[in-house]
Amino acid sequence: MTAIDWQRTVLVLLPPDALERHLCSSVLDLLERHAFTPVRYDVLWHRPPNQDSWQERNISSVWEAYFYRQVDLVFDLGPTLALLVEDGQADVSPEPPHKRLRALKGASHPAEAAPGTIRRDFRAINVMLDIIHTSDSPEDSELEASVFFGPGLGRPLDGGQTELRELVALLEAGIPRETREYDDVRAGLRSKITAAVWNDLTAEARKLAPGLATDPRPGAGAELAALLPGGASHPLAELVSCEFLPDHPQVDLKRGAAQLAVYGLTLDRWEHAVLRTSMTFPPLRRDS
């Protein structure tokens, strides 16, 4: 195998949320327009067994340990596409490849990412559901490649990009395209709860509830919960009133899922991942 020049080669991950949203092809197009060409690839169908060692710094100094376990929610959504991309402008650009690609992907918090970056233009959900990961340095790329590829460093793309693009098309064709952002997921949860208890609402509540269910204003959920039979004492009132944002009262989604089941309702994997991670990491809002 040809030796990897880590000064011009960057590890890139397109995680399950990118595949769920059918964004991989578009991200690959953008990378290639900026002269980043995939040279090796692999599909990770499960959480990497030595991921904890890679995330040791985040676990010990950046996030509280239980925050880190939310990474598992992301990997549980489906496969991850791991790539090594080579910078075709490495010899002429004043910026090194890792720095250039870091600028292209945008800030970790998508609301802080500048227009023209991947995370802003493709509307990443939050820090966890962030569409793309790239290594920050040649040393990080080499280390992370050993975590996500193993000793073989994936499959070479010596014959062009057709093979990779066909694989991405298969992966995306295998799942319905996910279009719901944070505000959509929260409104969807409130809407289906409202529909489930519709017959128990007063006539006045039925007039107000549909608008409140989709209202993005802070506090709209609490107003909706007050319309439920019994108000705040209703079994689903906590879920309805929850903002699912940091610095707001939190809910236990496992317990919430059990309460929803009594009414014949469920949280799908995407809803659970978006709501759970957004309680810790601020999401990009529809009006941003």
Q: What is the CATH number of the domain that holds 162?
A: 3.30.70.141
pLDDT in tens, 49-67: 665 555 555 545 454 544 5
Domains held by the chain: number: 2
Q: What percent of the chain has pLDDT above 90?
A: 82
Of 122, 144, 174, the position where a domain reaches its end is 174
pLDDT at 160: 80
Is 232 a member of any domain? yes
Could you tell me if 136 and 18 lie in one domain? yes
Q: How many CA atoms lie within 13 A of 47 on its CB side?
A: 16
Confidence of residue 260 (pLDDT cuts 50, 70, 90): very high
Is 288 a member of any domain? no
Question: What mean pLDDT value characterizes the chain?
Answer: 91
**93 near 149, Cβ under 8 Å?**
no
Kindly tell me if the per-residue pLDDT of 114 is higher than 70.
yes
Q: What SS3 state is found at 52?
A: helix
Structure-model confidence comparison of residues 285 and 73, the more confident one: 285
Is 35 a member of any domain? yes
**14 near 80, Cβ under 8 Å?**
yes
Could you tell me if 241 and 160 lie in one domain? no
Could you tell me if 34 and 150 lie in one domain? yes
pLDDT in tens, 20-54: 999 999 999 999 999 999 999 999 998 766 655 55
Report how far residue 94's alpha carbon sits from residue 149's, in angstroms, rounded to the nearest whole number: 30
- The β-bridge partners of 80 are 44
Could you tell me if 30 and 164 lie in one domain? yes
Could you tell me if 272 and 156 lie in one domain? no
Q: What percent of the chain has pLDDT above 70?
A: 91
Could you tell me if 170 and 197 lie in one domain? no
Residues spanned by the domain of 212: 182-279
Residue type for 194, please?
T
Is 286 a member of any domain? no
Mean pLDDT value of segment 198-204: 97
pLDDT in tens, 127-136: 999 999 999 9
**Cα radius of gyration rounded to whole Å, the chain:** 21
- Options 22, 98, 133, 234, the catalytic residue: 133
Of 145, 174, 203, the position where a domain reaches its end is 174
Kindly tell me if the per-residue pLDDT of 147 is higher than 80.
yes
Could you tell me if 134 and 194 lie in one domain? no
The token pair at 113 is 């990412």
Report how far residue 127's alpha carbon sits from residue 123's, in angstroms, rounded to the nearest whole number: 11
**238 near 214, Cβ under 8 Å?**
no
Structure-model confidence comparison of residues 8 and 151, the more confident one: 8
Could you tell me if 73 and 91 lie in one domain? yes
Of 143, 174, 205, the position where a domain reaches its end is 174
Could you tell me if 29 and 92 lie in one domain? yes
Active-site annotation holds for 133? yes
Is 136 a member of any domain? yes
**135 near 144, Cβ under 8 Å?**
yes
Of 53-67, 229-243, 245-259, the one with minimum mean pLDDT is 53-67
Of 50-54, 91-95, 110-114, 160-164, the one with minimum mean pLDDT is 50-54
Is 274 a member of any domain? yes
- The β-bridge partners of 83 are 12, 41
Catalogue the long-range contacts made by 160-168 (C-beta closer than 8 Å, 24 or more residues apart). 161/28, 161/32, 161/37, 161/38, 164/28, 164/38, 164/41, 165/25, 165/28, 167/41, 167/43, 168/24, 168/25, 168/28, 168/81
